[in-house]
Amino acid sequence: DTGVSQDPRHKITKRGQNVTFRCDPISEHNRLYWYRQTLGQGPEFLTYFQNEAQLEKSRLLSDRFSAERPKGSFSTLEIQRTEQGDSAMYLCASSPDRVYNEQFFGPGTRLTVL
């Protein structure tokens, strides 16, 4: 399977705990995105990487959220001190280095904060 993969697929945690999600993009894609999606809404942009450089970050992203892509391949998204409002589907997408920027999504990680 050469698509985008994400791990874990589901995560249940207690409020206040830290969680980390991993995304492996399509191997030849330089661009990687993280989104958050809640029920009835479209994906909400969180951050964007071009290779290992984090070039854009949503102003909605609080200091509790951090993302890395250390070698320009896989990426991690960490949420510190989780809150119930963080419960959502976290989606990763990757795209080739083309002007049109078409993105291909992974299966997502569903986070539930109790």
Partner 1 sequence: QKEVEQNSGPLSVPEGAIASLNCTYSDRGSQSFFWYRQYSGKSPELIMFIYSNGDKEDGRFTAQLNKASQYVSLLIRDSQPSDSATYLCAVKGTGGFKTIFGAGTRLFVKA
Gap between the Cα atoms of 49 and 38, Å rounded = 22
The residues of the shown chain that bind partner 1, judged by CB under 8 A, are 31, 33, 35, 40-45, 48, 50, 55-56, 89, 91, 99-108
Gap between the Cα atoms of 37 and 50, Å rounded = 22
Minimum distance from residue 20 beta carbon to partner 1 (Å): 19
φ/ψ (deg, to 5) at 65: -100, 135
In terms of CB distance, is 14 or 41 closer to partner 1? 41
Minimum distance from residue 100 beta carbon to partner 1 (Å): 5
The dihedral sign for the CA sequence 99, 56, 103, 68:
positive
Minimum distance from residue 62 beta carbon to partner 1 (Å): 18
